[in-house]
Amino acid sequence: MKDSKVKNRTAKRQIKGKGMPVLLIFLVLLTACAGKRKDQSTDTPQEAAQRTMEAVKVLDLETFNACTDNYEGACWNFIGFLVEKEYKVFNELLQPHFIKGKRYREKLAFTETMVEKLTWEIGRVEEVGSDKARIEMKVTNRDISEALDRFEEWIIEDMSNGAEKSAAALLWNVADVLNGCDDDLKQFIEETENTWTGEVTVTAYMEDGGWKLHLTDEFINAFMGNIGREL
């Protein structure tokens, strides 16, 4: 009987001893998560601009959203499930995906092609009060508008040569063509050697203890290579 009590006490000590590392691991994870959230904030307008452009370059959309006002709202169905989110740019890539299937992978590869040659220079920063600033930036990318023009010429030439294409192909919307992730258009973009440079003034503002950038059509157009439309 005495031996049995000793064994029970030993077992309890062993279980209790095993629980301590689990608690420590949990606390470490919490600290790591908190550190990650802290890293999303930016202490200066320059840092917000640099982090935003780096995020565009590698399509780190979580960081991009944290550093900008990209998010616009959400749509819910009648039973309260999230159906769709609305963003100013990269909208389709940011939709809720239970499974990131073929369509998502095609869209991701297409968008990677559009930003892989992106470069930028952060110029003069003028702070306006304590919670707003203006940032002058010079942004360079492939001239996507040139690729679109050559893509249009190619379609017209195919039509004149009797290819089986509807006349309605002449009336497409640029956003529809881009969202279609057309392989031919992707190739035209990859073959585009000319670049386009735009100088923009971007507004930064303070929110929740960090700086964020305001996304205007002009700013989006600049980092998307003079695309002329939102993606």
CATH classification of the domain holding 206? 3.10.450
Check residue 18 and give its pLDDT: 46
Q: Do 103 and 9 have their domain in common?
A: no
Q: Measured between alpha carbons, how far is residue 48 from residues 43, 145, 210 in Å?
A: 8, 28, 8
Are the C-beta atoms of 206 and 198 separated by less than 8 Å? no
pLDDT at 26 over 50: no
The one-letter amino acid code at 10 reads T
Check residue 194 and give its pLDDT: 94
Check residue 30 and give its pLDDT: 36
The residue segments making up the domain with residue 216 are: 44-70+97-223
* Alpha helices in 41-173, H assignment, sequence order: 45-58, 61-67, 102-115, 144-160
Q: Do 19 and 57 have their domain in common?
A: no
The one-letter amino acid code at 28 reads V
Check residue 129 and give its pLDDT: 86
Q: Total domain count for the chain?
A: 2
**pLDDT-based confidence at 60, cuts 50/70/90?**
very high
Q: Do 35 and 54 have their domain in common?
A: no
* Average pLDDT estimate for 58-73: 95
Q: Please state, in angstroms and rounded to a whole number, the distance separating the CA atoms of residues 135 and 45.
A: 7
Least confident of 10-19, 30-39, 78-87: 30-39
pLDDT at 46 over 70: yes
Residue 163 lies in a domain: yes
Q: Do 135 and 28 have their domain in common?
A: no
Q: Do 144 and 109 have their domain in common?
A: yes
Check residue 10 and give its pLDDT: 47
Question: Mean pLDDT in the chain?
Answer: 78
Check residue 157 and give its pLDDT: 75
Q: Do 139 and 219 have their domain in common?
A: yes
Residue 76 lies in a domain: no
Q: Do 19 and 48 have their domain in common?
A: no
**pLDDT-based confidence at 123, cuts 50/70/90?**
very high
* Average pLDDT estimate for 182-208: 93
**pLDDT-based confidence at 61, cuts 50/70/90?**
very high
Q: Do 103 and 214 have their domain in common?
A: yes
Q: Do 125 and 195 have their domain in common?
A: yes
pLDDT at 36 over 60: no
pLDDT at 217 over 90: yes
Q: Do 2 and 55 have their domain in common?
A: no
Check residue 231 and give its pLDDT: 43
